[in-house]
Amino acid sequence: MFYLNLSMLEILYFSAPWCGPCKALKPIIDKIEFELDSNKVLIKRIDVDVEAKLSIEYEISSVPTFVFIKDKEVVDRFTGVKSMKEIQSLISKWS
């Protein structure tokens, strides 16, 4: 499992360089990440081709997939493209 800080919301963002929707999400994720309080929320970008074991561990079957972890527990996840507002709403909900 991948845990950095128990009090922090960790978002594992599984993607791949060949994934069209992942490429479309990149500027959104970049902006969200820039605006986040890095003491409260961390987005960890994971390339499924490089981190195959981690992808299997989190049962990633398609990309992009986001896994939200709080206090060592997976509290939420989604696959596919969401708007910046929808992603920010989930971050607010869990952070």
| Catalytic positions, written as ranges | 19, 22
What's the rounded Cα separation, in Å, for the pair 53 and 14?
A: 12
Strand order in the sheet with 65-70: 41-47, 9-15, 65-70, 73-79
